[in-house]
Amino acid sequence: MVALSNLSPGRIWDTSRQSRAQRIAAGSTYARGKLVAPKDATKLLGAVIRPGDRVCLEGDNQKQADFLAARLAEVDPSVVKDLHIVQSGVVLAEHLDMFEAGIARKLDFSYSGPQGEAIARALKAGKIELGAVHTYLELFSRYFVDLTPHVALTVARCADRDGNLYMGPNTEDSPVVIEATAFKQGIVIAQVNELVDKVPRVDVPGDRVDFVVVAPEPFYVEPLFTRDPAQITETQILGAMMAIKGIYEPYGVKRLNHGIGFNTAAIELILPTYAERLGLKGKIATHFALNPHPTLIPAIESGWVEQVHSFGSEVGMDDYMRARPDIFFTGRDGSMASNRMYCQSAGLYATDLFIGSTLQIDLAGNSSTFTKDRIAGFGGAPNMGSDPRGRRHASEPWLKAGREAASLGTVLPRGRKLVVQIVETFGEKLVPTFVETLDSIELAKSLDLALPPVMIYGDDVSHIVTEDGIANLLLCRNAYEREQAIRGVAGYTDVGRARDARAVEGLRARKVILRPEDLGIDPLDANKSLLAARSIKELMHWSGNLYDPPAKFRNW
């Protein structure tokens, strides 16, 4: 018993429980049972939140606790101040107003969406002290280690008087946020659309929820994953054909995640046409970790898709998913059930391929969506777009990719995730996608970030697909080959024009680079007739009118 002298006999071990009891008592002034009137919400927040608290104000990828955000922005900053905001999505104006007012000071987050430029400005002006930009999964993980929230402000469709919450299809981040908060003696406050006698299903048990406020308006949800097929270009269709013929087919990719761009929407829309003619039904793209993309409807209706687990929901898709329980995860109430933590984990460990688009790719294959003036956030892409080195279960695509990478000289055989970047050589406004140096390197310098923000590191990328060809980086033997493989599919960009023509031809001879013709694809075939649906309206028809597109996508 050498060190018993170190013991602090007077130490109190339940300061968090005592603090919680005091906060609950203070908040209860404004509550009847757990119910707080909307007019008292600001006072409630002022009573339960303390300076310096870590606060998660959901703030997800899609759904927003917008009423509570507006109320928190109204508290007296001389009382509630210096908060440490720990939430995945910082996308509302109110999220930044709090920093402006001094209510909040430090920020740890994942995704910024429309607020990317405002966050960069606030950082430069010293209004925000940046903790870090995370992927979703690592932020959720830190909730259990060193970023546990003291207060969680969550959002649900309805609650009963015991505080049981029903999120329906938009469960998203809530279960993990609430578990970390409630089980570490934090305070959980829920904004709900309505109060009911009995919730349709219990997404979060009431004994984890302290206060419930019925908001005057339903919570805001952004239709982030709706891509209008009418905007898909023929170049994107060509890229989609190449991805299917050059990657999905030879590797036999069944379990996968798609990014949210038009490139991957094009893949979804030519499964029932182009891939059908290739005889690939049942052989590729059967199991998805994916939000319910409306552009997936034709593939589902044509029997391509066996199962989809989702991070969150998508506006207008509720009735469709309810009618397709064999495909989607649905609760006993019939509506879809999502879970961002579980689905991100599935995207990391249980899929064989991630494919997504990006803004910039450098000569080593590193990519970024951060620009000089914009902190875009990471979201989930770096998590799913990385080789999970802790994976131990084998699958055919994973073993084949591993064999290709093994030519690099590893001793033991090992599998490898397929991580595909699918881009056009020139992006919007004809800005080249391929660059010598990522803009995010300059951003990192100007903001004094610990590391330049990279969405996906080049050594995690297995393939780059452009209208110019596919570069298989697994087969490159050294950095020079990798650079030339990338230049070789970079088209008429400066990066592409600076290729070593002989090296590129050598790579093509070794099938490190595949041109459309090498895959038997005639670019002239890449036209809109290949799209199973060419408009939002056609998606709606495919769904038997179960898909109910948001107003902004209805142009008829």
Q: Which residues, 14 to 53, sit near its own copies by CB under 8 A? A: 14-17
Name the CA radius of gyration of the chain, rounded: 25
d(CA 317, CA 297): 10
Among 453, 491, 496, 549, binds its own copies (CB under 8 A): 453
Angle between helix 439-447 and helix 116-124 axes, rounded to 10 deg:
40
CB of 438 to its own copies, least distance (A): 8
Report if residue 538 touches its own copies, rule: CB under 8 A. yes
Q: Is 556 in the site for its own copies (CB under 8 A)?
A: no
φ and ψ at 191, to 5 degrees?
-90, 130
Q: Applying CB under 8 A, does 276 fall inside the site for its own copies?
A: yes
Considering the complex, what minimum distance in angstroms separates the CB of residue 518 from its own copies? 26
Residue 159 engages its own copies in binding (rule: CB under 8 A)? no
- Binding of its own copies at residue 282 (CB under 8 A)? no
d(CA 144, CA 154): 17
Considering only 61, 62, 135, 367, the residue that binds its own copies (CB under 8 A) is 135
What is the rounded CA–CA span in Å between residue 314 and residue 292?
A: 6
Does 392 engage in binding with its own copies (CB under 8 A)? yes
Using rule CB under 8 A, residue 309 touches its own copies: yes
Should residue 332 be labelled a site residue for its own copies when binding is judged by CB under 8 A? yes
Stretch that binds its own copies, among 32-40, 237-245, 391-399, 518-526 (CB under 8 A): 391-399
- Residue from the set 99, 248, 251, 329 that interacts with its own copies by CB under 8 A: 329
**Is 243 among the residues that bind its own copies (CB under 8 A)?**
no
Binds its own copies (CB under 8 A): choice among 125, 394, 431, 501? 394
Tell me: does residue 454 bind its own copies (CB under 8 A). Answer: yes
Is residue 531 at the binding interface for its own copies, with CB under 8 A as the rule?
A: yes
Residue with tokens 């170049």: 235
> How far apart are alpha carbons 437 and 495 in whole angstroms?
11
Which of 394/501 has CB closer to its own copies? Answer: 394
Sequence-distant (≥ 6) Cβ neighbours of residue 489 within 8 angstroms: 425, 464, 465, 466, 468, 469, 470, 471, 496, 513
Asked if 264 interacts with its own copies (CB under 8 A), we say no
Is residue 529 packed enough to be buried (19+ CB in 10 Å), middle (13-18) or exposed (0-12)?
Answer: exposed
CB of 257 to its own copies, least distance (A): 10
| CB of 60 vs its own copies, minimal distance in Å | 17
Shortest Cβ 356–its own copies spacing (Å) = 13
Nearest approach in angstroms of CB 505 to its own copies is 25
Determine, following the binding rule CB under 8 A, whether residue 149 of this chain makes contact with its own copies. Answer: no
- Please identify which residue in 245, 255, 416, 499 interacts with its own copies, judged by CB under 8 A: 255
Please, which residue, 249 or 276, has the CB nearer to its own copies?
A: 276
Query: How many residues appear in the chain?
Result: 556
Distances (CA, A) of 413 to 351, 390, 409, 482: 19, 14, 10, 22
β-bridge pairing 165-166 and 151-159 = antiparallel
Interface segment toward its own copies; rule CB under 8 A; list 95-103, 151-159, 322-330, 513-521? 322-330
CA distance 379 to 111: 5
The answer to whether residues 3 and 181 touch, using CB atoms and an 8 Å cutoff, is no
The string over 495-507, giving b where at least 16 C-beta atoms fall within 10 Å of a residue's C-beta and e elsewhere, is: bbeebeeebbeeb
Sign of CA dihedral 470, 473, 477, 479: positive
For position 298 contacting its own copies by CB under 8 A, the verdict is yes
